[in-house]
C-alpha cells in the first residue's frame, strides 16, 4: 500500500456516529499515513448526536481502531474534545491506550513556529445558548448534508469524484462568508494576543490556510463534507489536504511563503483533475 509521510497531522469534525461522516475516506487516509504526531482537534465522536439517536457503522469503529493502532506504534496522539464530544473534557489530563486527552495544546513546528491548537468553539459566540437562529442553522445544515449525500450518491454512480456541495452553497451566501471571516479574525486576534505564530482549529467545517497580518489562521476543515486534514511536513510547512479519490492540496504555509486557500480553490480543487477514480473507496454514507 502507498504511504503518505509527514511530521504532524491535524484532523477534526469527523462526527463519528452520524451517517454524514465520510469514514471510508478517513480510513483510507489514516491507513496510508506515517506521521509522528496526530492531533484530533475535536468533534471526533459526535456524542451529542449519539445521545439523540443511536447510529453506528463498522467503518466508524475501524477509524477508532486505526487511531489506537497509531498510538500503539508510537505516534504521539492528542485528543482535544470539541463541543460535540464535550463530555470528554471531563477526562482532560488522562491517557487511554497512549491517547492523551487535553483541553488545548501548543504545537511547536519543525521550523520553530509555535501554534496554539484548540477545537475553536470558544470563538463562536452563536454556540452560547440554543437560540432560534442556531436551531434554524441546524435545520439548514441537516438539509445541506442530506442534499450532499444525495448528490454524492449520484456522482458515485456516475463514477465522478466526490464534490462537497455545501462549500459551493456557502461560498455563494454572503452572510455565511461574512460570519466565517469574522470568526477567522477572532481566532487570529487571540493568537496574536497570546504571542503565537498561529492558531490551528476546526469547528466551522471550513478548512483554510490564511495569513492574517503575520499570524497564521489554520483550519483543518472536516470529514463530513470536505474531507480535509492539515499536515505538516518535516521542514515545518503546513498544508491543507483534501483526501478522496483524487487528493488535492488546498493551501500551504511555509516560513517563506503563504499560499492561501481561496474559497474557489476549496470548492473546485477536487474537480480540477476530473476523471475516473484510480481506486475504489468504500463510503460510510
Q: How far apart are CA 139 and CA 130, in angstroms?
A: 13
Identity of the residue, 12 or 244, whose beta carbon is nearer to Mn ion in the bound complex: 12
Instruction: Out of 17, 82, 164, 270, name the contact with Mn ion by CB under 5 A.
Output: 82
- According to DSSP, the β-strands at 228-232 and 238-242 are antiparallel
Q: How far is the CB of 56 from Mn ion (least distance, A)?
A: 20
Q: Which three cell numbers stand for residue 224?
A: 463530513
CB of 117 to Mn ion, least distance (A): 14
Q: Which stretch binds Mn ion (CB under 5 A): 40-48, 61-69, 143-151, 209-217?
A: 40-48
Q: Which stretch binds Mn ion (CB under 5 A): 37-45, 109-117, 129-137, 149-157?
A: 37-45
In this structure, the strands spanning 248-253 and 238-242 are antiparallel
Q: Which is nearer to Mn ion, 35 or 180 (CB)?
A: 180
b/e sequence 185-217, b meaning 16+ C-beta within 10 Å? ebbbebbbeeebbbbbbbbbbbbbbbebeebbb
CB of 43 to Mn ion, least distance (A): 4
Q: Which of residues 181-210 bind Mn ion (CB under 5 A)?
A: 203
* Residue nearer to Mn ion on the CB measure, 222 or 232: 222
DSSP letter assigned to residue 133: H
With respect to Mn ion, which residue has the nearer C-beta, 220 or 239?
220
Q: How far is CA 252 from CA 58, 115, 169, 211, in A?
A: 34, 15, 24, 10
User: Toward Mn ion, which CB reaches closer, 219 or 269?
Assistant: 219
Least distance (Å) from Mn ion to the CB of residue 73? 28
- The bridge status of strand 105-108 relative to strand 114-117 is antiparallel
Region binding Mn ion by CB under 5 A among candidate stretches 82-90, 169-177, 192-200, 226-234: 82-90
At residue 251's C-alpha, the angle toward residues 124 and 227, to 5°, is 65
Distance of alpha carbon 115 from alpha carbon 249, whole angstroms: 21
Q: Is 85 in the site for Mn ion (CB under 5 A)?
A: no
Cβ atoms of 166 and 204 within 8 Å: the answer is no
> Is 43 near Mn ion (CB under 5 A)?
yes
Which spans of this chain sit near Mn ion (rule: CB under 5 A)? Answer: 43, 82-83, 203
Amino acid at each position: 500500500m502507498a504511504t503518505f509521510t509527514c511530521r504532524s497531522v491535524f484532523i477534526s469534525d469527523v462526527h463519528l456516529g452520524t451517517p454524514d461522516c465520510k469514514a471510508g475516506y478517513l480510513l483510507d487516509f489514516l491507513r496510508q499515513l506515517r506521521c509522528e504526531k496526530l492531533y484530533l482537534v475535536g468533534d471526533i465522536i459526535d456524542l451529542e448526536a449519539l445521545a439523540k439517536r443511536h447510529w453506528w457503522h463498522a467503518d466508524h469503529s475501524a477509524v477508532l481502531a486505526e487511531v489506537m493502532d497509531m498510538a500503539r506504534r508510537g505516534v504521539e496522539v492528542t485528543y482535544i474534545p470539541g463541543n460535540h464530544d464535550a463530555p470528554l473534557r471531563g477526562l482532560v489530563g488522562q491517557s487511554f491506550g497512549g491517547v492523551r486527552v487535553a483541553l488545548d495544546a501548543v504545537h511547536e513546528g519543525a521550523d520553530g513556529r509555535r501554534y496554539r491548537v484548540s477545537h475553536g468553539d470558544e470563538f463562536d459566540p452563536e454556540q452560547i445558548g440554543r437560540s432560534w437562529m442556531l436551531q434554524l442553522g441546524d435545520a439548514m445544515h441537516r438539509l445541506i448534508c442530506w442534499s450532499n449525500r444525495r448528490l454524492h450518491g449520484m456522482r458515485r454512480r456516475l463514477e465522478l469524484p466526490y464534490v462537497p456541495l455545501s462549500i459551493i452553497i456557502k461560498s455563494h451566501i454572503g452572510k455565511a462568508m461574512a460570519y466565517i471571516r469574522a470568526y477567522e479574525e477572532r481566532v487570529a486576534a487571540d493568537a496574536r494576543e497570546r504571542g503565537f505564530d498561529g492558531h490551528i482549529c476546526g469547528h466551522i467545517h471550513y478548512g483554510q490556510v490564511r495569513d492574517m497580518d503575520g499570524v497564521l489562521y489554520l483550519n483543518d476543515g472536516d470529514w463530513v463534507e470536505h474531507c480535509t486534514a492539515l499536515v505538516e511536513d518535516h521542514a515545518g510547512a503546513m498544508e491543507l489536504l483534501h483526501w478522496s479519490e483524487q487528493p488535492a492540496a488546498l493551501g500551504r504555509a511555509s516560513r517563506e511563503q503563504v499560499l492561501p486557500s481561496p474559497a474557489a480553490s476549496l470548492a473546485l480543487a477536487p474537480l480540477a483533475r476530473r476523471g475516473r477514480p484510480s481506486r475504489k473507496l468504500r463510503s460510510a454514507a
